[in-house]
Structure 1
Amino acid sequence: MLSPLRLAISFLTIIPLYNKKAENQELTRSVSYYPVVGFLLGSIAAGVSYGLRTLGLTLAADVLAVVTMIILTGGLHLDGLMDTADGLFSGRSVERKLEIMKDSRVGAMGVIAFITVLLLKVSFLFELSLAPKLTALILAPTAGRWAMVYAITRYPYARPTGGLGACLKQAGRWQLAAASIFFLAVSLALMGPGGLGLVGLAVLGTVVTAWYISKCIGGMTGDTYGATGELIETWTLLAILLGQQLGII
């Protein structure tokens, strides 16, 4: 159990808990633990937010909570978001879109996507009261990593020559089931019955996002896994904010 969890943490963050070369079977098992990694990242970010608020900070606390997750992940998923935006909105052929996404240079659409997502995350967090805010900080990255598992297990890999994300394609329904059980359990523990609604909205957002990306490029890639995670994080924050405003949570 601890070995695939360490591998998942090392794969999705800058924390080097797994230092040997991973076999395909180990990579497959580690996919189940992606939402656990999201939960750990969110818990750290929530702790940062709470600690800074005890010092009287408000907006700065929200910004630094988001920055904490960016630092801990090395900006990996945001990089995927930028590459995905550059490719998907280029208006080119599928082959050219995939080439653009592989290019390390960032274009205008990537910058716009990066800024938009960060602004939305910070603004949604700022509007939340303390208790829902801490819950949102924990559940948003958990939902985002669950969405990555869904994309990995439900859609083919788009690049015919393979890539970093191709090694994860042996993951299937058992990994998705394990990830889903954890996501549901955490949501119910933190939100009670309202957690069911949140999970439902996260699933809806993930299904639509993954379908649209796959429709555009014929599948998913490592970049689009990260983009899906970032978009569902943002969607989850919005869902919790709307729940607060409507008096549901």
Structure 2
Amino acid sequence: MTHRPFRPQIGDIKTAFALLTRLPVKARFERTAEATWAFPIVGAAVGLGVLFIALLGDWVGLGLGVSAVIAIVCGVIVTGALHEDGLADSADGLWGGWEPARRLAIMRDSHIGTYGVLALILAMTLRVSAFATVVNTMHLGAMVAAAVLSRAAMPFVMTLLPHARSDGLSVTTGRPTGKPVVLGAVIALGVSVVFGGFVPTVVAASVCAAVVWSVIKIAKAKIGGQTGDILGATQILCEISVLLVFSTL
């Protein structure tokens, strides 16, 4: 069977928005794996929206802390808490079971456990604190950089790890080849440099690579591959890592 050469299409952007947000986008899903190159574009839109809401809240006198919370909550609503759900399920499953089949079963369970609750509390605390810091220091592009780099990281996990189960969102999306993954990374790096600067982008991208490597090693050891939950956890961990990098530079 011959594979068609990869060429990015405008429709891929709609597909990416349909996959990663709850916005009412009319999209086609014949090219879900190829559409991963457009994940950073979704990130840019979400990041700009979150940044605008935070600045608006601060402008009307709500203060940085409250504005950051409201902005991040709005971002979670737009994305349908897709990534947060993945983080919680991954924390519960990877550390709540003793063998791969049981871990996957826990990750599929809609109930949230102690590990998941703790992971969400820690993640939201770090996100709000780091976001408030970057806004306070006028490093306003950090949220956009974090949003695009973290969404460019997910396709690397999709490509480098096999599916851990035979069904689920990750299986439906498929495993992208190298070209859309690299194109997405190039787009993310370009956007991050524009909004956050060259040196912070290099450092943040390097940290994201370390996070992706760690996620791959842990997921492979514990469940033998990746799932949609693992991808969601990757996004959250990379986003927090980038925000922390920008808040310290």
TM-score (norm 2): 0.91
- Residue matched to 1:44: 49
1:193 Cα deviation after fit: 2.4
**Could you say which residue in structure 2 is the equivalent of 1:2?**
10
Post-superposition Cα deviations, 1:146-189, rounded to whole Å, max 9, x if no partner, equal: 11111111111111x22221123331101111111101111221
Relative to structure 2, which stretch is displaced further, 165-174 or 93-102? 165-174
Pairing of 1:2-21 with structure 2 (within 5 A): 2-19=10-27
> Partners in 2 of 1:240 and 1:204 — Cα distance?
16
Number of residues of Structure 1 aligned to a counterpart in Structure 2: 238
Q: Map 1:112-151; keep pairs closer than 5 Å.
A: 112-128=118-134, 129-132=136-139, 134-151=140-157
User: Does structure 1 retain, via aligned residues, the 8 Å contact 2:11–2:27?
Assistant: no
How far apart, in 2, do the equivalents of 1:163 and 1:188 lie? 35
Separation of aligned partners in 2, 1:242 and 1:83: 30
8 Å CA contact retained: 2:86, 2:228? yes
In 2, Cα distance between equivalents of 1:19 and 1:150: 23
- Counterpart of 1:72? 78
Matches within 5 A, 1:56-71: 56=61, 57-71=63-77
Moved over 4 A (4+): none
In the alignment, is residue 240 of structure 1 matched against residue 246 of structure 2?
yes
Query: CA contact under 8 A between 1:153 and 1:169: conserved in structure 2?
Result: no
Structure 2: gaps spanning 5 or more residues: 1-8
Name 1:165's counterpart in structure 2: 170
Residue identity in the other structure for 1:101: M
Identity %: 29
Distance 1:169 1:51 in 2: 39
Contact 1:62 1:126 survives alignment (8 Å): yes
- Equivalents in 2 of 1:201, 1:112: separation in Å? 23
Distance 1:146-1:19 versus aligned 2 partners, 3 A rule: closer
* Aligned equivalent of 2:233: 227
Alpha-carbon shift at residue 87 of structure 1 (Å): 0.3
Cα distance in 2 between the residues matched to 1:126 and 1:190:
17
- The alignment status of 1:214 with 2:236, answered yes or no, reads no
Amino acid at match of 1:6: K
Maintained 8 Å contact 1:187/1:198: no
SS of the equivalent of 1:131 reads: coil
Deviation per CA, 1:55-87, whole angstroms, max 9, x where unpaired? Answer: 122211111111111010011111111111110
233-242 vs 210-219, greater mean Cα deviation: 210-219
AA in 2 matched with 1:222 = G
8 Å Cα contact 1:97/1:217 also seen in 2: yes
* Cα displacement (A) at 1:12: 0.6
Query: What amino acid sits opposite 2:207 in the alignment?
Result: L
TM-score, scaled to structure 1:
0.91
Range moving further from structure 2, 120-129 or 228-237: 120-129
Q: Using the TM superposition, name which of 103-112 and 162-171 deviates more.
A: 162-171
Q: Which residue of 2 aligns with 1:198?
A: 204
- Report the RMSD for the aligned CA atoms in angstroms: 1.4
Do structure 1's residue 174 and structure 2's residue 192 form an aligned pair?
Answer: no
How far residue 19 of structure 1 moved from its aligned partner, in angstroms, is 4.9
SS of equivalent residue, structure 1 residue 16: coil
